[in-house]
Amino acid sequence: MANYTTESDYIPAPGEAELIKKVLTMFEVAKRAKHESAEVWREAESLYNGKHWEDFKMPDYKNELTIDLIGSAIDTMIPILSSRPPKIDIVAYGEDSKDKEIADIMQGVLDETWTIRDMATLIPEWLTDFLVYGTGILKVHFRNDDDLPDCDVVDPFSFFVNPSATKLENAEWVIYAAPTPLHDIQDRYDKGKFVKAQANLKDYEAMKINDGHDTSNSKLQVEKMGDDTKWGYDNYRDVMKGTEERALLIEVFMRDGTKEYIQQGGKEVQKDKYPGKMRMITMANNVILYDGPSKYPFFKRENGISYPFPYVALKNSGSAHSFWGKPEPKRLRSLNLAMDRLSSQVLDNISLTANPMWVVDETAQVTDQISNKPGGIIRKKGPGSVKMESPSSVPGYVFNFYNLLMDAFEVVSGVNRATQGKADTNVTSGVQAQIYKQAATTKIDFKSRVVDHGIQTLGQMWLLMFMNMGTKSHWVSVTAPDGVDEMKEMIGALFAKKKFAVKAKKGSMLPENRMFLENKLLQLAQMGVLTDTEYILEHMELPGKERLLAKMRKQKEEQAEQGGVTGGMGDDPSAIFDQLQANPEMAEQAAQEMAGPPQDGGQA
């Protein structure tokens, strides 16, 4: 058990003071370069959470109606992009049966890992950041407790890159600065006992939906139950520092080609100080917790990973000149706010004109009788008149403009009637419906390709982690070609040095992709172009298709066996004659087969 008592006598080791200064300088430079993007993200998350009127100071009598189309559009895209459970497929190149067997076992391991890590829940959370902030980031790591890879969604406010980077492939260093519980730091690192708690870490976190506490400088007083004793705090930040002890854990991955000389075979040999030229530095509150090589030196191009950092980033319709993508709420902001204000104005007119003005002559002698009660009766005593002024109707161009804004919102967001499952009256056939839906979901199709590539990178990283770091025995279920499930044993590290062609590829999460492929196969089968039934079934998603395929193969084998004696003799007439001459019984059986079934009384 770690000692949770924070020690104040921490003395940096030689060289650590300069390293701390370097890391903090990198961190500050990255924060300044990201400042404008972070401001846009704050606005984007507010818009997604339905906070549209925070920048407007409206009179009390004005309605503030929120048409939450931004949140609805994003919530519509997420199920479309993740409606089909994503799957990482392992395929073996070449015809070697051993490679294929290993690929099948690896497939079983990753399928089990996908389920254990509850990726069906994590993927939509990743996609939410991808759409709301324009950039979704996963951190990939290996868990020693169960000897399997894992991943977590990274808060975009906690992730930083060098200012000139436009993607992870050309980044020189990345920083993950996450508010972390103090006890977690003390458990994971020997020097964690020297780390002190920090306050005011909200700049490194996304907005919490249930964030209702006060972060101002207002004082807080706590009274002891059953006693008059009171404790006072100057502000809420001091309270959080004492009751929720956290520190900013800064994790740096940086390219470092430093060389060092070692003695090998009686000679000095130069080699990379950090395997894979990747250095990892971890610090918290000016305490260096780790400085050494990366845990994942196998993340390199020859292994199918184009960058050495343990992260997967999705960029939403971003520029090639920026690392960060475009938040969906930013491009939809003006349209949604215009619809909010227009709808509120219409509601104001309805509210105000539903209680129209009354014109009462002074001689009518009406006192305290006029109210907004429906069907009210006004009794007058004088000769003057009492009449109600009919309100003017809302101009027609208001509704026309509203419809124009709605059409523009559908064009910009890519979410329209087709993506919402609403039928178009002009579409009268299935082919037209398919073409209409594909054309209507072009923007979402593009986003799905970005997500599919990210899933592929994640699968490749998981595969490499298991093969290089897995040291425990795992039993996994593997489906044999005959459709029978078998249990296979696997230790990942046994294949770290073995060179076999195994690659991870994504399974597209967009439902239309699989439906389109299946429809094409059925069309080719109906045309007679595709006659291989097994091939068609292998590419269809049907429950129990393995058993069906096994049954079809067995029927083929039985038909081949029922071909008789001549069916297994080949096509060479001389060879058939030699076999029949050497075996008279076979010749007699062959003659009976050629004569066909016996006739009964000469009648068919």
- pLDDT tops 50 at residue 292: yes
pLDDT band at 599 (very low <50, low <70, confident <90, very high): low
Instruction: Supply the DSSP string of 44-58, one letter for each residue.
Output: HHHHHTT--STT---
pTM for the full model? 0.73
The confidence score (pLDDT) of residue 231 equals 52
pLDDT digits (tens, 9 = 90+) for 57-112: 877 778 888 888 999 999 988 888 887 655 677 777 666 777 778 888 888 888 88
The confidence score (pLDDT) of residue 210 equals 45
At 141 the three-state DSSP class reads strand
Under 8 Å between Cβ of 73 and 328: yes
What average pLDDT does the chain have? Answer: 78
The confidence score (pLDDT) of residue 326 equals 92
- pLDDT tops 50 at residue 445: yes
The confidence score (pLDDT) of residue 288 equals 93
Q: For residue 103, how far is the Cα from the chain centroid?
A: 25
Segment of 128-137, 235-244, 398-407 carrying the highest mean pLDDT? 128-137
Lowest mean pLDDT among 117-121, 236-240, 329-333, 417-421: 236-240
pLDDT band at 40 (very low <50, low <70, confident <90, very high): very high
At 516 the three-state DSSP class reads helix
Lowest mean pLDDT among 188-202, 378-392, 562-576: 562-576
- pLDDT tops 80 at residue 579: no
- pLDDT tops 50 at residue 36: yes
pLDDT digits (tens, 9 = 90+) for 480-518: 666 567 788 888 888 877 655 455 444 455 555 556 666
- As a whole number of angstroms, the distance between CA 431 and CA 435 comes to 6
The confidence score (pLDDT) of residue 354 equals 65
- pLDDT tops 70 at residue 154: yes
- pLDDT tops 50 at residue 212: no
- pLDDT tops 80 at residue 541: no
Q: Span 564-586, mean pLDDT?
A: 58
Under 8 Å between Cβ of 386 and 367: no
The confidence score (pLDDT) of residue 26 equals 95
pLDDT band at 279 (very low <50, low <70, confident <90, very high): very high
In terms of pLDDT, which residue wins out, 393 or 73? 73
Q: Span 404-417, mean pLDDT?
A: 84
The confidence score (pLDDT) of residue 591 equals 61
- pLDDT tops 80 at residue 272: yes
Cα-flanking dihedrals φ and ψ of residue 518, to 5°?
-65, -40
In terms of pLDDT, which residue wins out, 368 or 448? 448
Lowest mean pLDDT among 74-83, 167-176, 248-257: 74-83
- pLDDT tops 60 at residue 224: no
pLDDT digits (tens, 9 = 90+) for 418-436: 666 555 556 555 555 555 5
- As a whole number of angstroms, the distance between CA 376 and CA 297 comes to 83
pLDDT digits (tens, 9 = 90+) for 21-30: 999 999 999 9
- As a whole number of angstroms, the distance between CA 596 and CA 590 comes to 10
At 386 the three-state DSSP class reads strand
Domain-by-domain residue ranges, the chain?
532-562, 566-593
Cα-flanking dihedrals φ and ψ of residue 422, to 5°?
-90, 135
Q: Span 283-310, mean pLDDT?
A: 92
- pLDDT tops 70 at residue 245: yes
Cα-trace Rg, the chain: 36
Q: Span 105-130, mean pLDDT?
A: 90
- pLDDT tops 90 at residue 33: yes
Q: Which of 443, 446, 415 is nearest to 72 (CA)?
A: 415
Q: Which of 312, 316, 313 is nearest to 446 (CA)?
A: 316
The confidence score (pLDDT) of residue 313 equals 95
Q: Which of 227, 251, 284, 76 is nearest to 158 (CA)?
A: 251
- As a whole number of angstroms, the distance between CA 494 and CA 487 comes to 18
**């409206």: which residue's tokens?**
58
At 376 the three-state DSSP class reads coil
- pLDDT tops 70 at residue 587: no
In terms of pLDDT, which residue wins out, 302 or 243? 302
The confidence score (pLDDT) of residue 139 equals 96
- Residue 102 carries which side chain, given as an amino acid letter? I
